[in-house]
Structure 1
Amino acid sequence: MYSDKSKNRNRLSIFKLLSLFTFIILMGFTANIYLNSRYRLLTTSFYNKFNNYEFSDAKSTLDNKILTIKRNKLNNDLTYYFTDIVNKICISLSNNTITSNDAIDILNEIKDYNLLNSSLDKLISAIDENNNITSNNEIEEIDDLSIKTNDNSSLNYNEDNYLNLGISAFNSKDYENAIKYFNLVSKDSLNDYKIAQDYITDYEENYKEYLLESIDELVANKYYTKAINILSNYNSKLLTNDEITEIENKINSIKLFREEYSGEDSEYTSNAILQEITPSNINGLSIASKTSYLVYLNLAKQTTYVYEGSNNNWNLVKEFICSTGLEGKETPKGIFSVTDRGEWFYAEEFQQGAKYWVQFMGDYLFHSLPFDETQSTILDYTLGTPSSHGCIRLNVEDAKWFYDNIDNDTKIIIN
């Protein structure tokens, strides 16, 4: 009898611990939803006030404990915002649609936030110097951001200032504005011009990688629309047809992220898809699929899980050991949908093919272990560890089941 009472007490203790653990998790999710909501309201208020020249009110908006908690994210967001404003000010100066005094006032406000580097001081100094020169003289001409006066004095904003602004933007992965700055560096400054051209050449030669890299942080911070806009304005002259397809597929993938984020219980779902999905938590994540199946690939475990059901009513029906991309050829992370399928393909480049392929993004597929050209000999039996060129390899039998059952539009989540 004593033993039974002891067991009952132990069961009760375990139940209490589980209940407490569950309560803590739910409180954490609830707090995160609240923090993200308040963060968006506060930063939106800041942007609106700053855009309306209400600088004092804008700054007081940031004096909030919630923003202190999210300080790193706030600094990143403000850096993007202020870099864009500096670029617009430079363009406005070139178009003579803003006075030097107004430009300096705005730049000094930005300077107070200590987020942009010393190039901002140089730009302010250059504008101020030109303002003193032209205070008693009418500006006659503006040409290539060089403000010329009737006494032949001039200020070239496109010398050291633009080079430093370009380097600052480049290092912040704001490649679009960086290239704009580099293109404004004057040929008269031979050394600066050469440095700027080297950056431009490197950017053009590695355009796809820089383009994708520029949106990674935006996606991580849930700026899906801005990321889509950047990708959608790609320079087709710098991309091959295959790379264009990859970019288009990436855009579609981000649109799915945005769809998840903007849907019902968006904060909860958006955070949920970034964590490990398990049979015990999947039905609390509000994840939907356009078919009766949902596929989740855990990269760390090199395992593909297939769920059947519907939103918040999923049941695990298949669990496949798999093999994903090697280092440098990693399988992409994100939310995707099945788009096509086929029974066989052969890649001359790798001298191998595979059976029962199912496409989810560009050239990325689920498929069987690799075969030789005769379709009879398996060339690599590796599973459970990365070994592919980016696709997901499955046992032949598993690939056949996947091919037969996972319809187009089935949601694929990889993390």
Structure 2
Amino acid sequence: MLQVAVIKAHKNDIIKSLAKRNIDAKAMIEDAISLDEKRKTIQTQLDATLAEANSISKEIGNLYKSGKAEEANNLKEKTTQLKEDSKVLSDDLQETTGALTEILYKIPNVPNPLVPSGNSDEDNEEVFREGDIPKLYDGAQPHWELAKKYDIIDFELGTKITGAGFPVYKGKGARLQRALIAYFLDKNTAAGYTEYQLPHLVNEASGYGTGQLPDKEGQMYHVGIDDLYLIPTAEVPATNLFRDDILAEADLPVKITGYTPCFRREAGSYGAHVRGLNRLHQFDKVEILRVEHPSKSYEALEDMVNHVKGILRELKLPYRILRLCGGDLGFTSALTYDFELFSTAQDRWLEISSVSNFETFQANRLKLRFKNQEGKTELCHTLNGSSLALPRVLAGILENYQTEDGINIPEVLIPYTGFSKI
């Protein structure tokens, strides 16, 4: 959430920057400023009314002590009116503050100057590419056919139990899935991230804190009776660990990793491009998250990008990195890099990670601050990334490592799987 003070100080620049998202934010920005001015005016009136009522109450007490009961009773009528006025002002203040908050929740984060203009993923900028695309044998198959051939993932059984998008991993498929989770966590902890086991459901405040609500409410599974949400990513519970916290500057950076299942409704998703593991309603992901000093967050973003690069190099998967354009940038992000691996069997790129800097956008919602060396509080910067999302990594391994007589396992994973071939 943008800070009102920042909006006021940089109104025109913010409107211009948000145009990169193909949003005309002028009306929302002006409404926010207008509502904040109204809120401050009402607050001033309320403070004055309460101060006057308090002063008169003291005067009434003194009059009673002096035996001037009649004068005191006359002043009581005025305090009654002031109480009624303060009630009206308090209601107006609450209504205006609520309207201001509602507007602020609708304004997305301001894109970093590096974010290119564009309307969709077709306008994203490729900034890096690495790895050789393997030449497969004649008759090579996509992962959903390989899964059936080697009996390692059962999509039909998942549909029977729950519905489409909830696969069942079996035998060496389940073992490979578990191996990837352990490998990713080991890589992250070796890089200085502390592992957490996190709740898989969150309350509404947590959803608002990281920006999933109200922006992506329709994409989240909601447990109505308890008013809880299944997490779309570990980012939500991990970031909310620090909601309403004031950290010491010496505590920064905070580096967290965690494995969780993720749940997304993916409403409206259909077609050949979502077959098999390409898009699921439940999937596993290992996340990395950082809480940073504002002056060091972009250095941290680069470090996170390089960390994911290192994992893909060890897996020996061909990948590229895209800088997302304004039209494809997430609501809360100031700058995002997407990692995509190349699926040779499908002849297409598959997104496997997003690494993002949210700057103060989430921290302002969360009231996540730190106390600097001068003793003043500042908002932290938050960042997160997938390290990595498993379904498409697994799909890439199955497809790119397939041979005529089986699927080879990346060398780095063999100590985790206990086998070298499916």
Q: TM-score, normalised by structure 2?
A: 0.29
Q: Which is helix-richer, 1 or 2? A: 1
Between 1 and 2, higher relative CO (CA 8 Å, sep ≥ 6) is seen in 2
Q: TM-score, normalised by structure 1?
A: 0.29
